[in-house]
Structure 1
Amino acid sequence: MPRYPFVKHSDGMSPADLVREIKELEAVGSEPRAEDADYAAGIRAAQQRLADVYRSNCTPQRSAAG
Structure 2
Amino acid sequence: MTCAACVIIAREMLDTTQSEAAPPQDEPRGCLFALSQPPLMIFLAVIGCLLLMASLHDLLLL
Length-normalised TM-score, structure 2:
0.37
Length-normalised TM-score, structure 1:
0.35
Q: Which has the higher contact order (CA 8 A, sep 6+)?
A: 1
Higher helix share: 2
Greater gyration radius: 2
